[in-house]
Copies of this chain bind each other. A is one copy, B any other.
Amino acid sequence: MNDTFLKACRGEQTDYTPIWMMRQAGRYLPEYQAVRGNVTFLELCKNPELCVEVTLQPIDLLNMDAAILFSDILIPMEAMGTPLMFHEGKGPIFPEPIRTQDAVNRLRVPDPDAETGFVMETIRLLRRELNVPLIGFSGAPFTLATYLIEGGSSKVFWETKKMMFTAPELFHALMDKITECTSLYLQAQARAGAQALQIFDSWAGVLAPCDFEEFALPYVQRIINDLKDTGLPIIYFANNGATLLDLSVQSGADVIGLDWRINIGEAITRVGEKAVQGNIDPFALLLPEAKLRKRIQGILDGARDAHGHIFNLGHGIHQFTPPAQAKLAVDLVHELSAR
């Protein structure tokens, strides 16, 4: 069992810097495309055998130091009773956006074992196969709320902010319900065997710090507090969150995820006694070997004083990334960080 990743999460000494990549089970791999060619995205998410297969691919092919459950952050939102569709190339769509108290009242808090049992089954199956730690995950409440309120992805989040600024009680009522659902969902993942949990706040970066503090952070804190008894390391990743780092530390997470926009050394100064995860620009995987080596060395040097460092991309790996370049990055991190 390779437990380098878990040691780094806890800030313990490791023989080298562990690496995994957000979206490592994904479209850049022809092996993933082959599986995905026969099923829709939602069918794949709900099929434990296929989820296991694609989760394992980057571990076997690229030698990652951690696996992350293949799933989607919106799976538990669908289980709350909101119809969800994925249109090829268009991202997720909720045809019935949640914008009224009635709509919030109609949302259910699902039993995660009963209604998203396929996720828990995937975790149980994976634990039998894996020789690296398994990361479970969820979206953060603010990010999940944006999808429900906007009815899908958004560029500017007009409807979300309109609700925050003109109907804050309604917004908080929605956040309450999403938080309860998410907390139970992650607790179920822990029971099923997840060995670390990452909370993805993909859209937190659209909030001013004062709004993040009022509308988003308290809900992340509640979830992480609920997870204390599991003893699992919790990773909180607020994408585009360089100006939210001081607040993100207050989430209670053990590891702070960093996007590529900030120098990792500066981030570590602000994060203090927490482990960090990140943070190469995913597109920098395109660099020729000599430059990629230099870029990775720079991040490793910058993370010298971290209380634990897990190497990762600053965002999900892009679908057009050549797998050989991803493999090269993994090998370089292992080589350059060997102690």
**Complex-state Cα separation, A205 to B243, whole angstroms:** 13
A124 within 8 A of B: no
A92 within 8 A of B: no
Closest to A263 in B: B209
Note all chain B residues with C-beta closer than 8 A to A261: 205-209, 240, 243
A281 within 8 A of B: yes
B209–A262 touching, CB < 8 Å: yes
A210 within 8 A of B: yes
Note all chain B residues with C-beta closer than 8 A to A210: 263, 295, 298
- Closest approach, in angstroms, between the C-beta of A260 and any C-beta of chain B? 5
B166–A288 touching, CB < 8 Å: yes
A284–B242 touching, CB < 8 Å: no
Interface residues of A in 283-325 (CB under 8 A from B): 283-284, 286-288, 291, 295, 298, 314, 318, 320
**When A243-B242, A243-B262, A286-B166 are in contact, do A208 and B158 touch as well, CB less than 8 Å?**
no
A86 within 8 A of B: no
Interface residues of A in 195-228 (CB under 8 A from B): 205-211
Copies in the complex: 2
Interface residues of A in 41-82 (CB under 8 A from B): none
Q: Which of B158, B240, B286 makes the CB contact (< 8 A) with A162?
A: B286
- Closest approach, in angstroms, between the C-beta of A160 and any C-beta of chain B? 9
Note all chain B residues with C-beta closer than 8 A to A287: 165-166
**Complex-state Cα separation, A43 to B240, whole angstroms:** 37
- Closest approach, in angstroms, between the C-beta of A33 and any C-beta of chain B? 18
**Complex-state Cα separation, A3 to B320, whole angstroms:** 52
Note all chain B residues with C-beta closer than 8 A to A205: 261
**Complex-state Cα separation, A262 to B207, whole angstroms:** 9
- Closest approach, in angstroms, between the C-beta of A127 and any C-beta of chain B? 34
**Complex-state Cα separation, A283 to B155, whole angstroms:** 13
A1 within 8 A of B: no
Interface residues of A in 126-178 (CB under 8 A from B): 156-158, 161-162, 165-166
Closest to A163 in B: B286
Note all chain B residues with C-beta closer than 8 A to A207: 261
Note all chain B residues with C-beta closer than 8 A to A291: 165
Note all chain B residues with C-beta closer than 8 A to A266: 243
Most buried by B among A207, A243, A295: A243
Most buried by B among A242, A318, A320: A242
B211–A281 touching, CB < 8 Å: yes
Can you give 27 contacting A-B residue pairs, CB < 8 Å?
A: A156-B318, A157-B283, A161-B281, A161-B283, A161-B286, A162-B283, A165-B283, A165-B284, A165-B286, A165-B291, A166-B287, A166-B288, A206-B261, A208-B260, A208-B261, A208-B314, A209-B261, A210-B263, A210-B295, A210-B298, A211-B281, A240-B261, A242-B242, A242-B243, A243-B262, A243-B263, A243-B266
Q: A161-B283, A161-B286, A208-B261 are in contact. List 11 more A-B contacts (CB 8 A).
A: A156-B318, A162-B283, A165-B284, A166-B287, A208-B260, A208-B284, A208-B314, A209-B262, A210-B263, A210-B298, A243-B261
